[in-house]
Amino acid sequence: MCQPPSPEEVREKLGTSIPANVTVEKVQPVLNPRPQRIYKVDLSNSTSLHLVNPPYSKWRPLRSDEGMVLSETIAVRWIKERAEQKFSSFSSSSSSSKDKKQLEAAAAAAAAEKQPEAKDEHQPEAEAKDEENQQDQKDFISQIPTIFHHDQEPSPPKEWYTFYLCQTGTPLSLITPSISQETRNVPNGINFQLGKLHRNLAEFTSPTGRFGPVAATIPPPPTLFGQQQQHLLTAAGGLFGTVGTASWSVAFHSMLEGSLRDGEDMAVVLSYSTIRRHFRRLGYLLDEVRVPRLVVVDGGDESNILVSEEEEGGKWRVKGLRDWSSCVFGDPLLGSVFFELETEIEVIRGFNFGEENNNIWPRGIKGGIIEDEETAWVRVLLYETYHAVRKIVGEFYRPRGGGGGSSGGSSEKELEARRRLNLVLGKLGEVPDDVKGGTRKKKHERRLSGEMSPAKRLRALPAPPSSEKGERSS
């Protein structure tokens, strides 16, 4: 593990964001199963921060890792602002409604002096519902990190960095002994809370109407922070360089192709031609998604879910996510929250804000948030292919102990992902080309708005160094 930065280095990075008389007392690494390096910073004024740095330089980055820390900062900043605006609007509306009810109650009281009292049995129930919704919004805001300070350089330094106020909670994958699925699936438990978190996020849509990474899609503010964002867009290439796309099929194709090329760069054995053929056959179905909704692609990974146990009652609470760098505007069904958990019934119930699910997945999602439900199951197969490929390839780029990666053999994570990939490819092979009954887009039709193919747009990485570690295959 790399040495943490010295208190002097951290104090220099904080600059004028803290008073001159405040010092950095302690810097210690935070155990983090995600790629970023995180350090806990204790200040002399009793404030604790998390300093987030990019992954270790010894790790070759995946294409999706480009600008990871800045991408996360841009996404968190935008999400936090939108969530607070929504809460403020809800609170104002609730206050106005309460004032109106008070006036009505006063009028009713005056009228009651002249006639027998008549009570509104539904009023307490409605007020309780308003209070519950208001508390839900407060909980949602608390699950989003708060940026304390970020890199102020107009041109990229060696490492981007961002300071956040310390977020409570421990990654689910680090809890020992592990929390059973039975415990996660209790009413209003971890899985339910995860579903609710991701539904709240999916309520946000792209301000530009375009699909792709949040950092690329939202307009840069006319500030120094905006200059950083603009540099990221031009330097990272891919969909970043095009500020998103008007078509979800193009956006997802870019993501899928990026993962496939990551695998090819490391000579990972995969069914590349089969996967690409299935997307060529069925990718047109993704264009049925016309509303770009906010999705945290890795939001269901156990390494990314922060939880804590209440002192009284022992109930587990979802405190947020460790890594927000995978935010995109696209189809909510892409989120790994629907693929990582063995039982998704409670996730879907949470995604439905508590309404019961009596239908087969993915038709069980309510509220009109899922478009083209008729063929959504085919999109889910394509998304599951993408997640399986990312997991397999990720084991080669960031091998972990226990027999996987460079230590020889394959990890359990990789083997499980390969089993899932084989299963889903078999299912895709049974899907007919014209699953919508002759509505397939013809091959000669142009992409929306003249979009360029991701295969031409993706920025190629340098060839991997020739070493036994880099050429492992299974």
| Exposed / middle / buried, residue 81 (Cβ in 10 Å: 0-12, 13-18, 19+) | exposed
The pLDDT, as a whole number, for residue 65 is: 83
Residue 147 placed within a domain? no
> What would the pLDDT profile of 67-93 be if each residue is shown by its tens digit?
889 899 999 999 999 999 998 887 666
Residue 250 is inside which H or E element, if any? Answer: helix 248-265
End-to-end CA distance of the chain: 28
**Contact yes or no for 327/304 (Cβ under 8 A):** no
Is the pLDDT score of 471 beyond 60? no
Backbone angles phi and psi of 298, in degrees to 5: -95, 20
* Rounded alpha-carbon distances, angstroms, from residue 96 to 82, 101, 104: 21, 9, 12
The verdict on residue 266 lying in a domain is yes
pLDDT(273) > 50: yes
Please write the tens of the pLDDT for every residue from 235-257.
Answer: 554 555 567 899 999 999 999 99
The answer to the question of residue 78 being in a domain is: no
The pLDDT, as a whole number, for residue 354 is 78
215 Cα distance to chain centroid: 12
**pLDDT value, residue 458:** 46
Q: Of 54-63, 87-96, 398-407, which range is least confident? A: 398-407
Q: How many domains does the chain have?
A: 1
Is 175's pLDDT higher than 90?
yes
pLDDT at residue 50 in the model? 98
Has residue 129 been placed in a domain? no
pLDDT band at 113 (very low <50, low <70, confident <90, very high): low
- At 224, the pLDDT band (50, 70, 90 cuts) reads low
Q: Is residue 403's pLDDT more than 50?
A: no
Give the highest mean pLDDT range of 24-28, 118-122, 155-159, 452-456: 24-28
Query: Which pLDDT does position 319 carry in this prediction?
Result: 97
Average pLDDT, stretch 158-181? 91
Determine, yes or no, domain membership for 326. Answer: yes
- What three-state secondary structure class fits 86? helix
* pLDDT for residue 465: 43
Average pLDDT of 141-156?
84
Residue 389: φ, ψ to 5°: -60, -45
The tokens describing 206, both together, are 């792209």
pLDDT value, residue 64 = 84
Exposure pattern of 88-115 as b/e (b: 16+ CB <10 Å)?
eeeeeebeeeeeebeeeeeeeeeeeeee
Q: What is the mean pLDDT of residues 115-134?
A: 65
Phi, psi of 374 (to 5 degrees): -60, -40
Q: How confident is the model over 416-444, as a mean pLDDT? A: 82
In the predicted structure, residue 186 carries a pLDDT above the cut 60: yes
DSSP helix/strand/coil, 225: helix
Q: How confident is the model at residue 461 (pLDDT cuts 50, 70, 90)?
A: very low
Quote the mean pLDDT of the chain: 82
449 is a domain residue? yes
Confidence of residue 459 (pLDDT cuts 50, 70, 90): very low
The tokens describing 248, both together, are 């979800």
Instruction: State the pLDDT at residue 61.
Output: 84
- 350 domain-assigned: yes
Query: Residue 171 phi/psi, 5° resolution?
Result: -55, 135
Winning range, highest mean pLDDT, from 90-99, 257-266, 311-320: 257-266
CA distances from 133 to 26, 94, 347 (A): 39, 10, 19
The Cα 109–Cα 105 span in angstroms is 6
pLDDT band for 466, please (50, 70, 90 cuts): very low
**Measured CA angle at 31 (ends 29, 33), to 5 deg:** 135
pLDDT score for 353: 82
| Cis, bond preceding 156 (omega within 30 deg of 0) | no
Give me the half-sphere count of Cα atoms (radius 13 Å) on the Cβ side of residue 381: 21
Strand partners, 295: 328
Query: Could you give the dihedral angle defined by the CA atoms of residues 4, 5, 6 and 7, in that order, rounded to the nearest 10 degrees?
Result: -100
219 falls within a domain: yes
Q: Are 382 and 373 in contact (CB under 8 A)?
A: no
In this prediction, residue 430 has a pLDDT band, given cuts at 50, 70 and 90, of: very high
Residue 271: domain span: 169-457
DSSP 3-state of 145: coil
Judge whether residue 230 has pLDDT over 70.
no
462, two tokens:
């340098």
In order of 265, 322, 398, 406, 461, the CA distances from 401 in angstroms are 22, 21, 10, 9, 26
What CA–CA distance (Å, rounded) separates 360 from 345?
10
Report which of residues 293 and 101 the model is more confident about: 293
Percentage of the chain exceeding pLDDT 70: 73
Q: DSSP letters of 389-422?
A: HHHHHHHHHS--TTT-GGGSS--HHHHHHHHHHH
306-320, 324-338, 441-455: which has the minimum mean pLDDT? 441-455
Looking at per-residue pLDDT, the higher value among 318 and 238 belongs to 318
Give the CATH number of the domain where residue 176 resides. 3.90.1200.10
Query: Binning pLDDT at 50, 70 and 90, where does residue 401 land?
Result: low
Q: Where are the beta strands (DSSP E) in 130-278?
A: 147-150, 162-165, 170-171, 212-213
Higher-confidence residue of 238 and 397: namely: 397
Contacts of 376 (CB under 8 A, 6+ apart): 333, 362, 363, 370
The string of DSSP codes covering 4-35 is: PPPHHHHHHHHGGGS-TT--EEEEEE---SSS
Give residue 307's pLDDT: 97
Residue percentage of the chain with pLDDT more than 90: 53
10 Å CB burial of residue 384 (0-12, 13-18, 19+) is buried
